[in-house]
Amino acid sequence: MTLPVPYYQDSAVTLYHGDCRAIVPMLDRGLVVTDPPYNIGYHYESYADNLDPEDYNEMLRAVCPEPCVLIHYAEDIVALSWVLESVPEKMVAWVYPSNTARQWRSIAWFGCKPDFNKDGQDYKNPKDKRIAERIARGERARLYDWWEINQVKNVSNEKTGHPCQIPLSVMERIIRITESPLVIDPFAGSGTTLLAAKNLGRRAIGVEMDERYCEMIANRISAAKPAMAELQLA
């Protein structure tokens, strides 16, 4: 088998329209960063989010080889450890204030480790004199292992037409602190992982089975300005 013609491609991002189970095994090895479908019966346009558990596990096993970073509910990360036959090297809680049944998800690094020294977070007490001096010097607080970042809501500036969009800042932080020249997202969705990689000068490959979402991704990526580091991409 050979890879299909890309649906979209520029110097940083390649997007394929198709089934990730057929395409991902043919790709070069890279860092998989993805927020997969959760198999909870969500209403996508071209994907049935109610696979038999064995089929669901087999899909993730096929398209999420190590090294990979997965976003999922905590209980499912535990189950996926059995599926992937690996224990996460690191886990972070992504916390979002929300009047929903769940207010946080886990981010888990399998077969790789993040470097928290490559990012920081805003100080909680910016009016403190000593903290104000640090901020003036361009310093940031050390990065915690829980990230309070709002979900993408209908009124968010970055909102697209995808129903399950991950905040760009979440994906940028993951990619910023995880070393890899190539980022792969088997479930490209709204294209946030690909956009985050492009913003940070990384090469990225995405796969999306819904053609409408592929069009959305292509428009979103093509509108983004290339990062300066993209000049070094091969």
pLDDT tens readout for residues 97-119: 888 888 999 999 999 999 999 99
CATH of the domain at 16: 3.40.50.150
Instruction: Using alpha carbons, list the distances in angstroms from residue 219 to 77, 190, 201, 212.
Output: 32, 10, 19, 11
In a domain, 16, yes or no: yes
Structural domain harbouring 25: 8-232
Please tell me whether the overall predicted TM-score, pTM, comes out greater than 0.95 for this model: no
Name, in order, each residue with C-beta under 8 angstroms of 132's C-beta and a sequence gap of 6 or more: 126
In a domain, 97, yes or no: yes
- Which of these, 33, 29, 80, lies nearest to 59 by C-alpha position? 80
Is the omega angle on the peptide bond into residue 88 within 30 degrees of 0, that is, cis? no
Residues forming a β-bridge with 90? 109
In a domain, 1, yes or no: no
In a domain, 3, yes or no: no
pLDDT tens readout for residues 177-232: 999 999 999 999 999 999 999 999 999 999 999 999 999 999 999 998 776 444 33
Count of domains forming the chain = 1
